[in-house]
Copies of this chain bind each other. A is one copy, B any other.
Amino acid sequence: MNAEPAKKGALYLVPTPLDFGMSVESAALDTWLPRETLAVASRLTHWITENARSTRAFLKRLDAAVGIAAPVQGQHITELPRAAHKKGDHAPQAQGDAQARELLDPALQGHDVGLVSEAGMPAIADPGSAVVRAAHGLGLRVVPLTGPVSLMLALAASGLNGQNFAFVGYVPQESADRARRLRELEALALKTGQTQILIETPYRNSALLQALLHNLHPHSRLAVSCAMSLPQQVSRSALVSEWKRSTALTSALPLETPAVFLFGR
Q: Which residues of A contact B (CB under 8 A)?
A: 13, 28, 30-36, 87, 89-92, 121-126, 128-130, 132-137, 142-144, 146-149, 151-169, 193-194, 221, 228-229, 233, 235-238, 265
* A146-B237 contact in complex given A122-B156, A163-B87, A164-B167, C-beta closer than 8 Å: no
Q: A69 → chain B, closest Cβ, in Å?
A: 20
Q: How far is the CA of A53 from the CA of B129 in the complex (A)?
A: 39
Q: How far is the CA of A236 from the CA of B126 in the complex (A)?
A: 20
Verify B166–A129 contact, CB threshold 8 A.
Answer: no
Q: How many copies does the complex hold?
A: 2
A92 and chain B: residue at smallest CB distance? B265
- Contact of A142 (CB < 8 Å), options: B128, B157, B162: B157
Verify A132–B36 contact, CB threshold 8 A.
Answer: no
Verify B146–A158 contact, CB threshold 8 A.
Answer: no
Verify B164–A168 contact, CB threshold 8 A.
Answer: yes
7 cross-chain pairs, A with B, having the tightest CB-CB distances, nearest first: A133-B159, A132-B159, A166-B166, A144-B153, A124-B162, A136-B237, A90-B161
